Amino acid sequence: MNPAPPSFPCAVTIDVEPDPDTGDFEAVRRHLPGLLERFDTRGIPATLFCTSRVVDECGDLLRQVPSQHEFASHACSHRPFTRMTPEERRDELARSKAVIESLGRGCAGFRSPYFCMTDAILREVAQAGYQYDSSWASFGHPIGYHNLWKSKRPVRLEDPAIVEVPIPDATVARIPFGLSFYRAFDPVSRLFHVGRPHLVYLHCDEFQDRLPSADIPRWARPFLGRNRGKRASVLLDRLLDALQRKGARFVTVGDIARSVPGADPSA
Ligand SMILES: [Zn+2]
């Protein structure tokens, strides 16, 4: 029998946001409770990057989320931060943090909608009092590559003073490690997600059958429309099984941020 592989910390994150087409919360209401139940069965503490509107509209549901899961901010309006003024960004950073903290569970982290992140925006995130950001990704809005040469591992920055927990790449093609990648390129993705990712991300909307029309260019639709709904659910289990076999020890993004060398242990 092969010895157990060495363990590695891995965070499962859900971006909890309005449905792309309608702006309502049908996908969140339909799929978030079942996802959390599934994570609880596996002993996975998830990190929920919530928009403030989810808290406003689905506060009843979020208040029932078991305490091992972490809440973090995914801004207010879910608009791309690079298309907002600094004043609008500062308002969303502060307001979303306050609204999420009203759930009584803290809000140490931020993820920018569509992974829109620049050095200037990261400074604003730190100034708003967040201890970590999780937005550096090789691919994002507008659909295309960016932040390619940033660290792919969690890193403590000094200026601005913040921990960045980036989205790891799933393949040499620099595709961020998420259920969307795993679905889009199944079954090839089963062979390619080599390595030991410190983070994977997913959305409630992926468990809806229909691909939303908003925000997705025509060339990407054949990929992102694959394996949604029930099939996404099967593939999520397969992905989690694969990570566990590799030695994943599931933690929150906050746990990862606090463990980065040099981070303030009291944060
Ligand atoms: Zn989002």
CA of 150 to the centre of ligand 1 (A): 20
Helix or strand holding residue 156 (H, E)? strand 155-157
Which residues span the domain enclosing 195?
8-259
Q: Measured between alpha carbons, how far is 237 from 240 in angstroms, rounded to an integer?
A: 5
Residue 166 lies in a domain: yes
Compute the C-alpha angle 99/60/47, nearest 5°. Answer: 60
Which residues have CB under 8 Å from 47's CB, separation 6+?
11, 12, 13, 14, 69, 70, 71, 72, 109, 252, 253, 254
Residue 92 lies in a domain: yes
pLDDT band at 190 (very low <50, low <70, confident <90, very high): confident
CA of 195 to the centre of ligand 1 (A): 25
Q: pLDDT digit string (tens) for 229-238?
A: 999 999 999 9
Residue 1 lies in a domain: no
Q: Which of 245, 227, 239 is nearest to 178 (CA)?
A: 239
CA of 74 to the centre of ligand 1 (A): 7
Residue 264 lies in a domain: no
Q: How many domains does the chain have?
A: 1
Residue 267 lies in a domain: no
Q: What is the CATH number of the domain that holds 16?
A: 3.20.20.370
Q: Measured between alpha carbons, how far is 196 from 150 in angstroms, rounded to an integer?
A: 18
CA of 27 to the centre of ligand 1 (A): 13
- Any idea which residue has 């429309």 for tokens? 225
CA of 100 to the centre of ligand 1 (A): 16
Q: Which of 114, 106, 57 is nearest to 84 (CA)?
A: 114
Q: Which of 242, 264, 130, 111 is nearest to 189 (CA)?
A: 242
Which residues have CB under 8 Å from 190's CB, separation 6+?
182, 238, 242
The three-state secondary structure class of 108 is coil
CA of 114 to the centre of ligand 1 (A): 6
Residue 244 lies in a domain: yes
**What is the token pair recorded at 48?**
């929920």
CA of 49 to the centre of ligand 1 (A): 8
Q: pLDDT digit string (tens) for 113-135?
A: 999 999 999 999 999 999 999 99
Q: pLDDT digit string (tens) for 161-186?
A: 999 999 998 876 677 888 888 888 88
Residue 3 lies in a domain: no
Residue 227 lies in a domain: yes
The three-state secondary structure class of 149 is coil
CA of 15 to the centre of ligand 1 (A): 5
Residue 264 has pLDDT above 60, yes or no: no
The three-state secondary structure class of 145 is strand
pLDDT band at 139 (very low <50, low <70, confident <90, very high): confident
